[in-house]
Amino acid sequence: MAVQIFPLKVSINTCYVIRDRGAIMIDGGPPKKGNAIKVLLSRCGIRPEDIRLIVLTHGHFDHAGSVRDLKSLTGANIAIHEEDRPDIENSRYRFPPGVTTWGRLTRAILEPIIRSRVAIPQVKADIVLNNNDFSLQEYGINGDIIHTPGHTAGSVSVVLDSGEAFVGCMAHNCFPFRLRPGLPIFSDDIEGVKESWKLILERGARVIYPAHGNPFSVDVVKKFLH
């Protein structure tokens, strides 16, 4: 079976299901979206119980907010990097700094609103990732989870052997972030983001799947790095 990729658009976030010999899910969407994601899975012909692993690219509320509900729905293991583990286990709230003029402006507007209204329901991590690669062969996927810090210290990406890279917020590609694909407008360490992109390029990535917006060619990133 050739690898299949199913984008699950929830609000301004996109989660992904990757299916080959097995199935995994990338990210868990914003809070209170478990039922919406269940409907999207059904429309794609995916049985929840087929998903054996949920990889959180990082621990921010819009990527991990419904992961507790999804774990209950699927029975899947939750994998998150040790640096971002407190986000889901302790409901730690974070909103990274803006690293562009637009990022600083939108953060000033959005952060107070989000802080007062949003929380991640607490859930334990099943797999705590570190700085070493994590092979997905056990889950029927030809690829690895790699540590790609920058947006957060614990950001990770999933890079398939076939060239698809699922990068969370290593890039943005939709309003209100960007009108065209590019580096994130929010980041704890934008220089770290650039270094992590070099690692993704070295792994042979060809098509980038961001958490916000549509996929795009890796050539876009190469232009930003140069």
**pLDDT at residue 1 is higher than 70:** no
Domain count, the chain: 1
The amino acid present at 158, given as its one-letter code, is V
Q: Are 52 and 24 in contact (CB under 8 A)?
A: yes
pLDDT over 90, % of the chain: 95
What pLDDT digit, counting tens, does each position of 179-189 carry? 999 999 999 99
What pLDDT digit, counting tens, does each position of 51-99 carry? 999 999 999 999 999 999 999 999 999 999 999 999 999 999 999 999 9
Q: Provide the CATH number for the domain around residue 202.
A: 3.60.15.10
Half-sphere exposure of 167 (CA within 13 A, CB side): 39
Tokens for 197, please give them: 């992109």
pLDDT of residue 135: 98
What pLDDT digit, counting tens, does each position of 118-148 carry? 999 999 999 999 999 999 999 999 999 999 9
What pLDDT digit, counting tens, does each position of 194-220 carry? 999 999 999 999 999 999 999 999 999
Q: Are 21 and 1 in contact (CB under 8 A)?
A: yes
Find the domain containing 28 and state its range. 4-225
**pLDDT at residue 225 is higher than 90:** no
* pLDDT level of residue 226 (50, 70, 90 thresholds): confident
Average pLDDT for the chain: 96
- SS3 for 59? coil
* pLDDT level of residue 224 (50, 70, 90 thresholds): confident
* pLDDT level of residue 36 (50, 70, 90 thresholds): very high
Residue 16 Cα to chain centre, angstroms: 9
